[in-house]
Amino acid sequence: MNMDLPRVSAPTTPQLEIDTHLPLSSLIICSRNRSSLLSETIGSILNGLEVPDEIIVVDQSDTPDEGLVVLTTERRCKIRYQWIKPLGLSHARNTGIKAAKNDWLVFTDDDVLVTPDWFGMLLRALVAESRRAVVTGRVLAKHERHNQGFAPSTKEDENPAIYEGRVGQDVLYSNNMAFRKSAVAEIGDFDERLGPGTRFPSAEDNDLGFRLLEAGYRIVYVPQAVLYHRAWRTDHDFLALRWSYGIGRGGFYAKHMHWHDRYMLKRMVQDIRNHLIQFVSRLRRDRLRAYGDVGLAGGIVYGVVYWLLTQHRTRT
């Protein structure tokens, strides 16, 4: 499969679209200061076998992307571009949800490349489920030719799975997921205190997934819906990113931690313990990753304390 896409986002000639009577859907992409990566992400979507009714780009870049403002395509897909002030990824996703014209919502990020059948696989799996279901897919790392970077979030399991109730782990991947708009109408939007661009810069998808499961939804993992998370980050970014991930995860744990229900406390303790064990096992063979485990564990502790000191009066 050739994943090296041109800078131009839209195909120059119409492509075959499979008539599968899929419902009208909205695909939401949020971005900030990644114009080139975003353009290639859109290009890979528009080069797919099937496309959404609309692509909503919510851009929090320093300046508007003039190319995307006027971008059109010959596919049966409208590209809607919205530039907003940078208030965090959760705010951008909520903006996209409110702007969506359709009930069937698909999400991805601005630094992925999708396979040709990704969109159809993901949406078709959601259609096959009940209304109280969310679908997520496989996320593989895509290494760039010019560097040996890393992709911070991947899911490589080839086995399908259905998650219900308290599964003890985070199973929803927000750069590869789909649900109906009625889901957020029931459980609430993305928590705008969590996620990149906030004081707790991760775990907004963990929070959404946990609230969905607590509300009785099931999360369906469909490994056939594959996309590639581009490994554009370098080792120089690794430790800072792990610390940030830890802070967001700590905020997530603290938000759902209650004295009468020790479930989230036990998850937090196990998470910290696992990363400290990994630190010991990795120290001799990969010091950078080992220090990353310590940074993430420390970030969790910091995030819990910081949340309890600053957010306890506004706990949802």
pLDDT digits (tens, 9 = 90+) for 263-310: 999 999 999 999 999 999 988 888 898 999 999 999 999 999 999 999
Residue 76: is its pLDDT beyond 70?
yes
Q: How far apart are CA 75 and CA 47, in angstroms?
A: 9
Comparing C-alpha atoms, which of 241, 250, 131 is closest to residue 181? 131
The pLDDT of residue 295 is 96
Residue 2: is its pLDDT beyond 60?
no
pLDDT digits (tens, 9 = 90+) for 209-249: 999 999 999 999 999 999 999 887 888 898 999 999 999 99
Residue 95: is its pLDDT beyond 70?
yes
pLDDT digits (tens, 9 = 90+) for 131-152: 899 999 999 988 766 666 776 7
Q: Where are the alpha helices (DSSP H) in 117-237?
A: 118-128, 181-187, 204-214
What is the average per-residue pLDDT within 193-214? 96
CB 101 within 8 A of CB 26: yes
The pLDDT of residue 316 is 46
Question: Both tokens of residue 270?
Answer: 């196990």
CB 59 within 8 A of CB 68: yes
Work out the percent of the chain whose per-residue pLDDT is above 70. 90
What is the average per-residue pLDDT within 179-195? 96
